Amino acid sequence: NAEDIHMFVESELTKRLYERLTGMPKVTLYAPHHKGNVLLFSLADISADRAGTFLNERGFCVRTGFHCAALAHATLGTPPSGAIRVSPSLFNTAAQIDFFADTVKELL
């Protein structure tokens, strides 16, 4: 059904981004066992806010900080500035995922 197709596409795009980010030095991914289309990550020596501003200026919508879940962030061990949350969707393409990953690499 359509919902299963949407979940599959989102899952594949999220997996693609996860694999791209995992290969980058200075990128820490949190809760990699999590199933779904949300990735939470931080960048060494770059605050979540600074990274979010950089990504936003290049056309990406991400959320930064503690996402109304300070205790969860404490449990995960995110940096003092929190982390960056990105959520690929059915409306994204593999090329956009690659561009996002390339933009994170540029920021590093």
Handedness of CA 10, 108, 29, 87 (dihedral sign): negative
Q: Identify whether 61 is a catalytic site residue.
A: no
* Active-site residue, from 68, 71, 80, 95: 68
Helix axes 94-107, 48-57, angle to 10 degrees: 130
**Token pair recorded at residue 60:** 């990406």
Cβ burial 22-55 (10 Å sphere, 16+ → b, else e): eeeeebbbbeeeeeebebbbbbeebbbeebbebb
Task: Give the separation between CA 90 and CA 7, rounded to whole angstroms.
Answer: 8
Active site residues: 68
